[in-house]
Structure 1
């Protein structure tokens, strides 16, 4: 087993007044040559956007972009004609492919919106851009793993152009679970603690810590407190 630990306080920071963001990997003005990616996971941004503010229209190309709202509502518009609001419990995916433009704004007039922005390199470039958004029952992740993303359109969650699987769980203190990687010979898994404290394969993790593991078959998770966790399995090359 090989591993890399990214503590919460080691992440990059952007504070634009209306946007406060923590970058697990190099992004925008934060550049750390030792923190460029975890396998094909390129971006893991932990964003807080003030009321009425947001990201104006901007382009993307050849990237799988996943948004996971954590608190509040996010307004989305794009060049494909989609105009939606995503909220906690929703999962949004954009396959940028040959090119897409979109904007994201805080839809709430009186509170901040918090969401994760995640980029994964696709397994092929030049695909037709697409957008999808689903609402999941968060009760289905209580003390068990809920799949929120996979490579398969017929599976639970959204799908992307990559052999990647995302899961989320909300665990009570003292609960344990195990998870076997779908592609252990090629993939690694990145564990991101959203809330609380957990122990993963013997490593103690606190809120917003990240742990990348590869050259492993499975992981074991124990909730040291009430905790919420995101698991991101991606190819390592």
Structure 2
């Protein structure tokens, strides 16, 4: 019998929804006012939010504990201010910043009328603050390849990889740390990841994984793999 890597699926249609006239947030884990059973943090990973922010608006959030926040734009640029960081983060960039406990981070839509969309991923900070860092990448480098965007060796023990695949293309993710937790999140399309079927905006938590096998089940399928 083939032994399956331990894991847990987080379905897209079971994400929490927080919505006002200014923003719409889908939360994979408990976050801010959204609190539900079985949506507790996965290891250091405390939140994975997909945020849509209306034109000209600003959103402020408070870090309850010392946190690493990874910001990844999906549509449009987002202004980010938090800790020692003030930056405009574009598509094909990822911003990593450290927030002391009880500090505030703000996200600003710099366009007057256009919506923007971005991920903000929250992890418990390591013992020592990580310096802010901006990572750039080219979507062409993601074609049928899991490209490393953030290396675990560079920043506080976390790594981020992205890949965009044609249908039936395969990849294997090898963790940089044998004891790491992994979280895969499908941004577009569908994948089979370690024997689990994942559709758009589904997530999969994995642990005790020596390697992770992925296969795209649709064209232009886009997946994120976070290691921590």
TM-score by length of 2: 0.90
How far did 1:25 drift?
Answer: 0.4
Residue 204 of structure 1 is matched in structure 2 by 197
**Aligned pairs for 1:119-134 within 5 A:** 119-124=122-127, 127=129, 130-134=131-135
Contact 1:60 1:96 in 2 (8 A): no
Question: 1:104 and 1:174, CA in 2 relative to 1: closer, same or farther beyond 3 A?
Answer: same
5+ unaligned residues in a row in structure 1: which ranges?
154-158
In structure 1, the partner of 2:223 is 229
Q: TM-score with structure 1 length normalisation?
A: 0.87
After the TM superposition, which of the residue ranges 29-38 and 91-100 deviates more from structure 2?
Answer: 91-100
Indicate the residue corresponding to 1:139 in structure 2: 140
Computed over aligned residues only, the root mean square deviation of the Cα atoms, in angstroms, reads: 1.9
Corresponding residue pairs, total: 223
Partner of 1:85: 88
CA 1:216–1:84: 2 relative to 1, 3 Å: closer
Measured against aligned partners, the alpha-carbon deviations of 1:121-173 in whole angstroms (never above 9, x if no partner) come to 12215x3x7422232122111111111123323xxxxx2x2x22110001111
Match of 1:43 in 2: 47
In the alignment, the residues of structure 2 paired with residue 100 and residue 131 of structure 1 have an alpha-carbon distance, to the nearest angstrom, of: 15
Cα pair 1:148 1:168 within 8 Å, conserved: yes
Q: Is the 8 A contact 2:171 2:214 kept in 1?
A: yes
Paired with 1:20 and 1:204, the residues of 2 have a C-alpha distance of 26
Does residue 22 of structure 1 match 2:23? Answer: no
Query: What is the CA–CA distance in structure 2 between the aligned matches of 1:173 and 1:110, rounded to whole Å?
Result: 35
* Structure 1 counterpart SS, 2:181: strand
Any unmatched runs of 5+ in structure 2?
none
Report which stretch shifted further, 168-177 or 49-58.
Answer: 49-58
- The more displaced of 55-64 and 16-25 is 55-64
